[in-house]
Structure 1
Amino acid sequence: MLDVFFTVDVEVWCGGWDDIDSKFPDAFQRYIYGTTSRGSYGLPYQLHQLREHGLTGVFFVEPLFSTRFGLDPLTEIVGLVQEHGNEVQLHLHTEWVDESRQSLLDSVTGKKQFLRYFSLEEQTTLIKAGARLIEEAGGPCVKAFRAGSFGFNRDTLRALARNHIAFDSSYNASMFGPDSGISPGVPLVEPVEFEGIYEYPMTVFHSSARSLRHVQLTACSYREMEGLLWQALRSDRRAFVILSHNFELLNGSMTRPDDIVVSRFRKLCAFLDRHRDCFRVRGFDGLIPSLACTQPAPLVSPVWKTGLRILEQGIRRGFD
């Protein structure tokens, strides 16, 4: 049986950094609830679909925005996720550090986009602050972490160990993973232990262009995801980590549902429900790590599925 992690990075953005206090209420409604003239397709829709199929998602919630706008919106997010029986874990976007009304780091006066740009001591402080905010918002003691935009490094794992957070899912071999200082020269695609932390990397695959691509709801067709799941099962992989976001079921301008991505999500949930004898959709709570002795090659998706995905993506852009 293959452990499948359906992970959702939960974030709120204001479309820039000017006048964010007046923009935030609308941004919160748009990003979290995804209200359109055809219904709401944000976080509650995702949670409902998962519950309808008896699946558990891992929601990596970004809490630093609450140091600017107060704890109530974060409490609302954490409550929604927990109400539907899903996991709340920690996600950090460090762009919020210099916007905070609290003193997170005395030395920061401008934007630093990625956690990896901070020292070990600074990362330790920010992760501690984020975990505390999750708990203050009614969430659990954090057990897993993902850096914003996968922008982590080896110091991040050391900072997690200092904060007693056992699991990380920041490694992405298609983005910042290879130069993170973890496993140099050997891309990670299976769970391993580094610095006392269990790393569960993003699942990546080769498309027809041979470039690596991570498995994300907006970036892969349903046929690709289904085929990759079967391939991972047949090759005795230990984990399959899928990425989504709370706003991914909306089009780029967030004015209507993205029907193709909504269909992918519904089909994926139905597939995982139907084949629960093969795929165990789970979170990090109570997880006993199953670690790889060696790192296999990334999965491969056939050319014809890549072609169909390119066609789908073109159709999506045409309706944006």
Structure 2
Amino acid sequence: MTVKKLENIIAAICIVLTVSNFAIASDNGLPIVIITVDVESKKIDGVELPMPEQVNAICMNNISCGLGKMTELLKEKGYPAVFFLNVYEYKKYGEEPVMEIAKWFDGAGHDVQLHIHPQWAYDKDRNLTHQYTLDEQIKIIRDGKDLLEKWLDKPVLAHRAGAYGADENTLKALIENDILYDSSLFIASENSKVTALDLKKNVLSMYGPLYEFPVTVYRKHEEPPFLKGLLKPVSRVRKYDANWFADEAETEKAVREAIDMKLDFIILFLHSFSFIKHYTPDGDKIADIGAIHRFEHLLNIIKREELRVITFQDIKPGNLELSRYLNRQDSIPDISAQINAVQYSRKRMGITAANYKVFLTVFSLIAIFGLIATIKFIKRKNKNA
């Protein structure tokens, strides 16, 4: 036997071992993690925080709070992420700045895929993709795909609709553009019209040749500890998001439940501005320290539990076969949490940070009218006495 033949045999054995090891690693009963980040401009406290300013954002007290911090934490653990980039913002900021962001992600080993907020380039009065016709959606997706492929010279494989605003036409338009991975389904959002389709809500499913990766969720049940069993818990659907976890303990519980339930995939969610809590017209930024710590904790859990982190670029025949993850039971992890009586009452009544002023005004008016009525009643009673 020649040396050349021996080298070929050794190479073949190495390939077989590599594939076998991968198959074992991906079928060990542990969830596969896809870390996703929606990259877009955002209005915080009524002030716009432009996408380009988020890259190297520094918050007050010299705290790094932008995409640079996010990618730094990912690099420390050696994990890639999927950055869904709203390429249509080039209409406002120019092609060069948005292209440079895409190339920066790509150069750091991350996966850059398509994110659509159509109002930036098409109709400012139609913010959601499902507000456009099928033909319009086909064009919008084609335009974004062509732009991203021109910048990176790589095929666009995946998509997420801005504000989850996809419908059945969106899936058809993606298929028409040969984009066969979508992650727009989020059962807690009314914007996500694909939830009405015959698709699984928390596990992988298919629409024709397209694979739908839902934003992974869990149910959180909250009640005061001293009233446990006496009152119905406040139950809400939550996503696996550094900004949605209440604390590190909840982060731990949610991931542990996903592992125990043997979910195939955990689609983690962040925004490009997830580490920025407040932003003023003067440009001052306040970091969301809690979100930063929760994201760090998430990465630590992934490392500790030896969960595999992939991107959409890793999904290919011979590398990761998606067909094996179809036809799973649709399941949602449940966790419990303790809250005080005031928090319970507020959540039971649906009072949030967004609407508390309305509730406060209404309750104040009721109290004032009640007080006036009581005074009049007492006066009338004294007059008749």
TM-score clears 0.5 = yes
CA distance in 2, matches of 1:200, 1:238: 11
Match runs of 1:149-228 below 5 Å: 149-176=163-190, 179-180=193-194, 182-184=196-198, 188-208=201-221, 209-220=234-245, 221-228=247-254
SS at 1:211's partner residue? strand
- Structure 2: runs of 5 or more not aligned: 1-29, 222-233, 316-320, 345-352, 354-385
Tell whether the 8 Å contact from 1:60 to 1:88 is kept in structure 2 after alignment.
yes
Distance of aligned partners of 1:294 and 1:12 in 2 relative to their CA distance in 1, 3 Å threshold: same
Q: Which residue of 2 aligns with 1:266?
A: 296
Q: Which residue of 1 aligns with 2:125?
A: 111
Which of 297, 300, 308 aligns to 2:331? It is: 297
TM-superposition CA deviations, 1:273-319 (whole Å, max 9, x none): 2222xx11111113132433144332111123x77xx89xxxxx9xx
Match runs of 1:1-320 below 5 Å: 1-13=30-42, 27-37=50-60, 38-98=62-122, 108=123, 110-138=124-152, 140-176=154-190, 179-180=193-194, 182-184=196-198, 188-208=201-221, 209-220=234-245, 221-253=247-279, 255-276=285-306, 279-287=307-315, 288-289=321-322, 290-304=324-338
Distance of aligned partners of 1:269 and 1:16 in 2 relative to their CA distance in 1, 3 Å threshold: closer
Structure 2 counterpart of 1:226, one-letter code: E
- Structure 1: runs of 5 or more not aligned: 18-22, 99-107, 312-316
Distance of aligned partners of 1:181 and 1:119 in 2 relative to their CA distance in 1, 3 Å threshold: farther
What is the CA distance between 1:49 and its match in structure 2?
0.8
Q: Which residue of 1 aligns with 2:228?
A: none
Structure 2 counterpart of 1:8, one-letter code: V
CA distance in 2, matches of 1:258, 1:286: 31
Q: Which residue of 2 aligns with 1:102?
A: none
More helix, by proportion: 2
CA distance in 2, matches of 1:280, 1:166: 22
Tell whether the 8 Å contact from 2:251 to 2:294 is kept in structure 1 after alignment.
no
CA distance in 2, matches of 1:13, 1:302: 32
SS at 1:88's partner residue? strand
What is the CA distance between 1:136 and its match in structure 2?
2.4
Tell whether the 8 Å contact from 1:55 to 1:273 is kept in structure 2 after alignment.
no
Structure 2 counterpart of 1:215, one-letter code: Y
What is the CA distance between 1:195 and its match in structure 2?
2.8
CA distance in 1, matches of 2:268, 2:239: 8
Q: Which has the larger radius of gyration?
A: 2
Structure 2 counterpart of 1:259, one-letter code: I
SS at 2:296's partner residue? helix
TM-superposition CA deviations, 1:125-145 (whole Å, max 9, x none): 101111111122226211110
TM-superposition CA deviations, 1:52-75 (whole Å, max 9, x none): 101111110110011333211112
Structure 2 counterpart of 1:211, one-letter code: R
Tell whether the 8 Å contact from 2:168 to 2:193 is kept in structure 1 after alignment.
no
CA distance in 2, matches of 1:160, 1:229: 31
Distance of aligned partners of 1:128 and 1:275 in 2 relative to their CA distance in 1, 3 Å threshold: same
Identity of aligned residues (%): 23
TM-superposition CA deviations, 1:256-275 (whole Å, max 9, x none): 22111111111111221222
CA distance in 1, matches of 2:64, 2:50: 14
Structure 2 counterpart of 1:280, one-letter code: R
When the two structures are superposed, what TM-score results if normalisation uses the length of structure 1?
0.82
Distance of aligned partners of 1:162 and 1:179 in 2 relative to their CA distance in 1, 3 Å threshold: closer
C-alpha root-mean-square deviation of aligned residues, in Å?
A: 2.6
CA distance in 2, matches of 1:29, 1:257: 17
When the two structures are superposed, what TM-score results if normalisation uses the length of structure 2?
0.69
Structure 2 counterpart of 1:36, one-letter code: C
The total of aligned residue pairs comes to 290
